Amino acid sequence: MRWCAALLVVSVAARLAWTLFTPNGMNLVDLHVYVDGSAALLDGDLYNFTYSRYTPDFPLPFTYPPFAALVFLPLHVVPFAVLGVAWQLLTVAALFFVVRIAFELVIGPEARTRRWTGVALAWTAVGIWTEPLRTTLDYGQINVFLVLGVMVAVRSSRWWLSGGLVGILAGIKLTPAITGLYFLARRRWREAVFSAVAFAVTVLVSVLTLGEQGLTYFTTLFGDADRIGPVGSVWNQSLRGALSRIVGEDVETGPLWLVAVVVCAALAFAAWRSLGKDDLLGTLLVVQLLGLLVSPISWAHHWVWVVPMLIWLLYGPLAGLTGTRILAAFWAVVTLVGVPWVLSSAQDSIWTVGRPAPLAWLGTVYVAGAVLVYVWMIVGARKLRASETEHAATVTVAEEASDAATPTDRPSEPTDRSGAPSPRPIR
């Protein structure tokens, strides 16, 4: 574990050096939006606020629910340089616990042992260099904290904690709300209901506290993807983004997008049905990948779930299959290289939807990878069951052959004069 801890220290030091000593390392544009945007609510100007110091081609608005502004508001009293470094370190710490809980969901309490703690440290050291984590750290994003909150909710057996956490997280950023489907899939009815109640409470608190600013989000801005950012940018790794780049224009929520959503939802359902009843992490990944696919905007930094997904692939029930290792290698290469980042250099503007066909198709890489995970969950589970059935049949045949042997077929034990078996000599 000491070597793994040392590896993490070196990795974090390299990351901090990148942050502190490169020209744009401390831009942390999204953290600026959290800090300055939440402060704008004090002037009644939350949803008119934009931040453009480092993003002149796209002034960044505050796109989160109003409850998030209340949560972020205390941040503006902290000097930004201190906050930026602390945010980076806390993000890495949160990633470690995401990895740790992912292992617990896969292998059980053994994940808390010294050996597996070392493995989790090593995964964290490498994980911060995958594209979703790199961009999360570059922008000062909140994604890892949201994923950690969901993982804690899933692991907990307390219905009020699980449901309350998911509801509050959805009040900060809508994406964790998809976790309600996980509760339904696991028949955790109270958690599903309470998560909706907790989210409703965040809305009520926002409206009562902020008045018109709170109402504006839910009556005017809710669902406005154009306000969040350019749908056609290669950084948007959702179904809508991928299809729009292939077609050459924003497909919006039209027939093509609806068909794609239905297909992905059907694959997700089939993948869930293929998993074992105790495969908690697999079920969670099915749900979260669906959320990333159907969301109008899923930036590359939203795909933090890739790290738990790689853990499931390499340590989960399908880990022994060759196809699983190939799929894991695909995702490792895609995220360590950063395919959307490479392709972004080939687009003249983040607002341009149309692009050459090779770039458009390569730009589907995260979406295609998620679909492949669903397909492999279905196919791999069938292969595993067939292998287990064949093994069980082989064992049964061997046992039957052994039982068919008659006593005369075996050498008799030597006996003494009383007829009892004689003891064997000790050599």
Q: Using CA atoms, how far apart are residues 302 and 146, in angstroms rounded to an integer?
A: 10
**Residue 419 burial by CB count (10 A; 0-12/13-18/19+): exposed, middle or buried?**
exposed
Phi/psi-derived region of residue 338, left when phi > 0, alpha when psi is between -120 and 50, beta in every other case = left
Q: From first to last of its 427 residues, what are the pLDDT tens digits of the chain? A: 889 999 999 999 999 999 999 988 999 999 999 999 999 998 888 999 999 888 887 889 999 999 999 999 999 999 999 999 999 999 999 999 999 999 999 999 999 999 999 999 999 999 999 999 999 999 999 999 999 999 999 999 999 999 999 999 999 999 999 999 999 999 999 999 999 999 999 999 999 999 888 888 888 888 777 778 889 899 999 999 999 999 999 999 999 999 999 999 999 999 999 999 899 999 999 999 999 999 999 999 999 999 999 999 999 999 999 999 999 999 999 999 999 999 988 877 777 887 888 889 999 999 999 999 999 999 999 998 887 777 666 666 556 666 665 555 444 445 444 444 444 443 3
Q: Using CA atoms, how far apart are residues 390 and 385, in angstroms rounded to an integer?
A: 9
**Residue 193 burial by CB count (10 A; 0-12/13-18/19+): exposed, middle or buried?**
middle
Q: Determine contact, residues 241/233, Cβ cutoff 8 Å.
A: yes
Q: Pairing relation of β-strands 50-51 and 60-61?
A: antiparallel
Whether this model's pTM surpasses 0.75: yes
Q: Using CA atoms, how far apart are residues 247 and 250, in angstroms rounded to an integer?
A: 8
Please, what sign has the CA dihedral across residues 271, 274, 277, 278? negative
Q: Determine contact, residues 327/313, Cβ cutoff 8 Å.
A: yes
The two three-digit tokens of residue 417, written as one number = 């004069």
The two three-digit tokens of residue 160, written as one number = 């009020």
Q: Using CA atoms, how far apart are residues 145 and 298, in angstroms rounded to an integer?
A: 17
